[in-house]
Amino acid sequence: MNQNADPFDPTGASPERGRLMAAADRLVEAGFIDAGWWVLDPYTSGLRLRLQDAATGVCPALYAFTVDGALAYVGKTVRPLRQRLQGYQSPAKDERSGASTNRENNARIVLALRRGQRVRILALSEAQARRHAGFMLDLPAALEGGLIAELSPPWNRQYKARTIEPAPVVPDPAVPFSRASERTPSKGFPMTPTASMLLDFARSKKGAVLRTLRRNTPFHVEVIGNAFEFLPTSGQARREGLASAEAVLKAFSAKPSWQMSDYQEMTFNASYLLALLKGWQDSNRPA
């Protein structure tokens, strides 16, 4: 099968379409509601958002786009849903973090609408933090990576793990976490690990006290399956899936930045992921 084929092209019969329609049905069964739809402005041909009132202020939220009932994209936001979706309606033209995703999805939605297809918006109606065994669990953070990995929405393919990865580096647990180290890496040293390498590093730090880069907030990290679980001193556990961690690492590799705001569209656990990334760099720099 051609991986670059458009499963939503109405001129061809795509075997993927049936699978993606079943995937959208699974989201509805999981509690996603019909939150709105996209239309073309008749005067400007630009994208316009039509959002149900009940879904406007949902925050945090998981959301999805469907094309004629078939799943196209799954996303997560820590902002009110309307505010996040407006990023797709009027995407930035510069190269700030998340801008390319907004532009790509804007173009895809516009293309589908010009074909006469319906592009609907689904949102998880109960995407709120819940308490389990004394910890607060954030459903959007816990579910997004699993949904993308399980359902493989075609517009999310950029978040899949790289096919070819560098040979893993075994971190030295004896090397202390250093926030201050800013040494320039030697030639050939990878500035950015893969998500699986960062998971290995997190495993090596189980029980250790790490600190966020900006506020110096202490936290612990554990690995649960293929997800990071951050345990800040507040006691509210935060889980981050492999897919969103990979998105942060990919963005950092393209444009290194230690500002949490540069990753706000990918995760609201950026402070912890960046601390892990910095710790991995410090532990793996050549002497």
Residue 48: which domain range? 16-126
Give residue 242's pLDDT band: very low, low, confident or very high (50, 70, 90): confident
Q: Per the confidence metrics, is the pTM higher than 0.75?
A: no
Residue-by-residue DSSP string for 261-280: GGGTTT-S-HHHHHHHHHHH
Angle at 234 between CA 240 and CA 272, to 5 degrees: 35
Angle at 249 between CA 32 and CA 222, to 5 degrees: 75
Q: In terms of domains, do 169 and 110 share one? A: no
Q: What is the CATH number of the domain that holds 77?
A: 3.40.1440.40
Q: In terms of domains, do 259 and 214 share one? A: yes
9, part of any domain: no
Q: In terms of domains, do 188 and 94 share one? A: no
The SS3 assignment for 119 reads strand
Q: In terms of domains, do 25 and 90 share one? A: yes
Mean pLDDT of 69-86: 89
- Which residues are bridge partners to 50 per DSSP? 37
7, part of any domain: no
97, part of any domain: yes
- Which residues are bridge partners to 230 per DSSP? 221, 238
Structure tokens at 108: 């895809």
What pLDDT digit, counting tens, does each position of 173-206 carry? 443 443 333 333 444 445 788 888 899 999 999 8
Question: What's the CA gap between 115 and 250, in Å, rounded?
Answer: 32
Phi, psi of 241 (to 5 degrees): -75, 165
Give residue 287's pLDDT band: very low, low, confident or very high (50, 70, 90): low
Q: In terms of domains, do 117 and 167 share one? A: no
Evaluate whether 246 touches 159 at the Cβ level (below 8 Å). Answer: yes
Instruction: Give which of 240, 250, 168, 246 is closest to 204, Cα–Cα.
Output: 168
137, part of any domain: no
132, part of any domain: no
Lowest mean pLDDT among 86-100, 126-140, 156-170: 156-170
112, part of any domain: yes
Instruction: Give which of 170, 145, 164, 186 is closest to 280, Cα–Cα.
Output: 170
- Say which residues have a Cβ less than 8 Å from residue 19's Cβ, sequence separation at least 6: none
The SS3 assignment for 197 reads helix
What pLDDT digit, counting tens, does each position of 135-161 carry? 656 666 667 888 888 899 999 864 443
How many domains does the chain contain in total?
2
Structure tokens at 173: 């647990």
Question: What's the CA gap between 90 and 82, in Å, rounded?
Answer: 12
Q: In terms of domains, do 233 and 190 share one? A: yes
Q: In terms of domains, do 172 and 273 share one? A: yes
Taking every pair of Cα atoms in the chain, the longest distance, rounded to a whole number of angstroms, is 64
Q: In terms of domains, do 110 and 214 share one? A: no
Evaluate whether 232 touches 204 at the Cβ level (below 8 Å). Answer: no
- What pLDDT was estimated at residue 13? 67
151, part of any domain: no
Q: In terms of domains, do 257 and 205 share one? A: yes
Lowest mean pLDDT among 122-126, 128-132, 150-154, 211-215: 128-132
35, part of any domain: yes
Q: Which of 67, 101, 126 is the last residue of a domain?
A: 126
